[in-house]
A and B are shown apart, each in its own frame.
Chain A
Amino acid sequence: MKLAYQDKKTPVHRLHPVCKIIWVLAVIAGSILINDPILLVLLFISTIPFVIIGKIVKEWGSFVKLTLWLSIFIAIINMLASQHGSHILYSSPMLPILGTINITLESIIFSIGMSIRLLATISAFAILTLTINPDDLLQTILLLKIPYRTVLTTSIAIRFIPCLFTDLDTLQSSLQTRGYQMAEGGFLTRIKRRAIIIPSLLSNSLERSIQSAEAMESRGFGSKGGKTFYNVIQTTRTDYFFIALSLSLFALFAIMWILRIGTYEYYPNITPIAITISYVSVALFLVLSAASPAIFSPLKKVIDLD
């Protein structure tokens, strides 16, 4: 399974990269400004339709699985470290240095809330990574008037990252098959022993970049005259609608934060959750925004022939 972009030709893939970037920023803003666990759950759920419509369930699942493990780790640390909360579920005997450790209901609920926050953010990022064509992203960045050479160089450098990992793996295997003990000794010794790979890794990368540069020059890179683009991503009505929705989402979260609607007190006692009209409206809004790529007729990336 590839955890990189694959063109699956879905409405999510066809959305303008700018739309997806603004949407991700809105989800991140939401997960920062809101700490009500129910709203955070809604926020996370709102990303799932994108996953289904974008046909990236398996790939997205791998991101989520990793986040869940990370969440469990964070939750355990939080439960052990945070001694706040009034409902003590377990109290450890006196431990040297640490003293008594109390595990409270509030710290458990807080950990769950934080995990959902992390899940929502990672989910949005995963959708972005899995559905944006790197070449489209390059063109989007060009809209910010960053020089083409800089953007292309960055894009190629990013494309080479998987090659770098493959190289690293092969070089490590080569060292192992020659009896080199990389995992021997303390932390610093291990780092030092692994450092032997760096010159070879750099050398391989340098050779690769020279070959790329040769190929680019041979295909007219840097020629005088204006640079044209084969694919021009057109902005459609759906894109505008989606941007408007994402910006409204932004505004909604900001208003909720200012009015303290989405804030939730975990300590010293968890606040009882009451389903109010604000929840219902937020939920509706999120579901609408999540379903929007499918609601509208599928967009077609049209080659601009003008």
Chain B
Amino acid sequence: MIEFKDLTFKYADSSNTALSNISLSINDSEFILITGPSGCGKSTLCRCINGLVPSFYGGEICGSVEVQNIDALRTPTKDMAKTVGMVFQDPENQLIATDVEREIAFGLENLGLPKTIMVKRIEEVLDTVGIDHLRHRQLSTLSGGEKQKTAIASVLVLHPEILVLDEPTSELDPKGAEEVIQLVKRLNEELGLTVILVEHRIDRVLQSVDRLIVMDSSEITYDGKPRGWINLAENKLPLVGIPPITHLSVELKQKGIDTKIPLTIKEGRQIFSPILKDNKWKKPIQTHPHKSKNITSCIAKARKLWYKYPDGAVVLKDITIDIFKGEFIALIGRNASGKTTLAKLLNGLLKPSKGKVEINGIDTTRTKVENLAKCVGYVFQNPNVHLFADTVEEEITFMMNNLGFSSKMIEESLDKELKQFNLEYCRYAYPRSLSTGEKQRVALASVLAAKPQLLILDEPTRGLDYGLKKNLMNYLIEYRKNGGTVILISHDIELIAEFGERVVLMSEGKIVADGNKHQVLANSLHFSPQINRLIQPFTKYGISSDILTVEEIMQGFK
């Protein structure tokens, strides 16, 4: 049992409280999901359970945390290891050894256990987690999902009663994330382990958890059954990332149709069946296939493009693509399908092995990437790689100075970007001390200030909460209104279904589909969004088979 009593905590270098008056009881074998916007205190709450807060971080604390009758706030983390297993966000930085078996053994070695026990426990945990086949593999050769499973095995081997996972899937691709979530569910069901999971993509787990805890501004704002929260949260739905299938029930309720709240597609089909079978749909939504536009409006084009890395791996094979001014293109595909390589070729960071890339008619092999920066802006996944200056103001003007903008233009653009991205209050702050959302706004503002005609974003939404994603997409909509072109690399199909236009699907270095989002995403086994999967059995009743979002389904509803 975990018992928080009136816990308030403030980090040593912060003026704000990270946790305010937290009182919470968690029973043995419960599966708890904690969610909430970035910076709301979720990670701090988790770190109180194994004593990292306050013993590792330091700060001001009052109240108490008892974990299996141990005073967690006064027990060093190393002594809590046998009771609480903690898995972190980044699969790379929490691994110590070089191969899987030794990584798992690390904790047992620290506890000084005899080798006979170590051998037995390692065998057990390899089987439990299902990574026996990886036991002799080097960690550097594992995928993100396999690394996270190894991290889970390396804490499970200490036989903890509680497993705490702090955003374990935020750095993983959808397949890796799914594998980790399935494993966690199984550990809770079969071993009766208490699981506390922090997660932004709640659609993945909502149906499996016993309790949902929602946090905001260092406080717990909801603690109870997931369906109860959805009823409660319906008035402020745009702020929370509930699954589209659940969102549909809320929208229908607002139209006067009261249904149960589904958490999975299967439940959705049962609950919405009478409505979807009711032959009262407006005529199918007309989708607009992607048309070849006038070639003069082409901002970037690739012809018969091949790319081979120095180690000989061919990652792009015969790619031909035109990017037209004003388009919003989502580049999707499995990991290692060549998305990022194509993006880096489209801004000149990489040069073609064969074929040609032209940006505004300029062959990228004939100029430097620095010179193409005026036309193409590139936003990296991790906002930290954009931060070089001492203040937010300097960071935003950095690119404009590099490109030789006049001081008048810099001044005007700076004020505009600070206002647009709501960064005026932290104009003189050190960019690296900001929150994730603020850093991302600074990164985006620093690129957009130079007014590039084409903006490429490499998985900018990975690890972001729904609110931050929504804000980012609103900035992109604004950018396009001013004539900008966007290429977005993403695994987030729901987001693309909602905001994308043209979708380019890549596989093994080739473009396998290119067209309007309805053409590419609808009826796809792997890449279709929830709503599209929901409606497929009901298309014979008149509903259009290429509907992708809640908004579209509601438009067709009489």
Contact = CB atoms under 8 A, between A and B. Distances in A.
Interface of A: 1-2, 4-7, 133-135, 152, 156, 159, 163, 167, 170-171, 173-181, 196-197, 199-200, 203-204, 207-208, 211-223, 225-232, 303-306
Interface centre among A167, A173, A178, A216 (most CB of B within 10 A): A178
**B interface residue count range (under 10 / 10 to 19 / 20 to 34 / 35 or more):** 35 or more
Nearest to B82: A220
B252 interface: no
A221 B77 CA distance: 9
Interface in B148-197: 151, 154-155, 158
B157 to A, nearest CB: 9
Interface stretch (B66-74, B98-106, B239-247, B540-548): B98-106
A176 B371 CA distance: 9
A200 to B, nearest CB: 6
A170 B76 CA distance: 37
Interface stretch (B206-214, B373-381, B520-528): B373-381
Interface in B508-543: none
B370 interface: yes
A244 B86 CA distance: 48
B115 interface: yes
Contacts of A232: 115
Interface in B196-225: none
B119 A305 contact: yes
Nearest to A163: B92
B398 interface: yes
Contact of A215 (B82, B88, B112, B374): B88
B115 A170 contact: no
Interface of B: 50, 52, 56, 76-82, 84-86, 88, 90, 92-99, 101-102, 105-116, 118-119, 122, 136, 138, 140-141, 151, 154-155, 158, 311-312, 344, 347, 349, 368-371, 373-374, 376-378, 380, 382, 384-388, 398-399, 402-403, 432, 446-447, 450
Given A1-B311, A217-B56, A219-B155, A170 B94 contact: no
Contact of A228 (B50, B90, B109, B347): B109
A179 B402 contact: yes
Given A179-B370, A181-B402, A199-B388, A221 B98 contact: no
B158 A219 contact: yes
Contacts of B106: 219, 221
A4 B115 contact: no
Contacts of A163: 92
A167 B388 CA distance: 13
Contacts of A159: 98
B311 A218 contact: no
Given A200-B387, A211-B93, A222 B52 contact: no
B349 A135 contact: no
B373 A179 contact: yes
Contacts of A219: 81, 106-107, 110, 154-155, 158
A4 to B, nearest CB: 7
B56 A214 contact: yes
Contact of A2 (B101, B140, B368, B380): B140
A230 B115 contact: yes
Contacts of A7: 99, 136, 138
B72 to A, nearest CB: 12
Contacts of B80: 218
Contacts of A211: 88, 90, 93-94
A231 B399 contact: no
Instruction: Give 3 closest A-B pairs by Cβ, nearest first.
Output: A230-B105, A215-B94, A179-B373
A219 B153 CA distance: 11
A231 B81 contact: no
Contacts of A225: 111-112
Nearest to A137: B98
A134 to B, nearest CB: 5
A134 B97 CA distance: 8
Contact of B109 (A177, A179, A218, A227): A227
B534 to A, nearest CB: 39
A1 to B, nearest CB: 5
B370 A180 contact: yes
Contacts of B402: 178-181
A220 B107 contact: yes
B78 A221 contact: yes
Contacts of B50: 218
Nearest to A152: B96
A159 B349 CA distance: 27
Contacts of A196: 388
A78 B303 CA distance: 48
Contacts of A221: 78, 106, 110
B158 A220 contact: yes
Nearest to B52: A214
- Of the candidates A135, A207, A230, A303, the one having the most CB atoms from chain B within 10 angstroms of its own CB is A230
A94 to B, nearest CB: 42
B154 A226 contact: no
A171 B110 contact: no
Contact of B96 (A167, A175, A212): A212
B349 A176 contact: yes
Given A211-B88, A214-B56, A174 B81 contact: no
Contacts of B373: 176-179
A135 B102 CA distance: 8
A306 B446 CA distance: 61
B450 A179 contact: yes
A179 B399 contact: yes
A200 B447 contact: no
B115 A303 contact: yes
11 contacts: A6-B138, A180-B402, A215-B94, A218-B50, A218-B77, A220-B110, A221-B106, A223-B110, A229-B109, A230-B115, A230-B119
Contacts of A176: 349, 368-370, 373
B94 A200 contact: no
A171 B88 CA distance: 24
B381 to A, nearest CB: 10
Nearest to A156: B96
Given A208-B93, A215-B96, A219-B107, A230 B52 contact: no
A174 B443 CA distance: 11
A170 B380 contact: yes
Nearest to A184: B370
B112 A228 contact: yes
Nearest to A200: B388
A167 B106 CA distance: 27
Contacts of B370: 176, 179-181
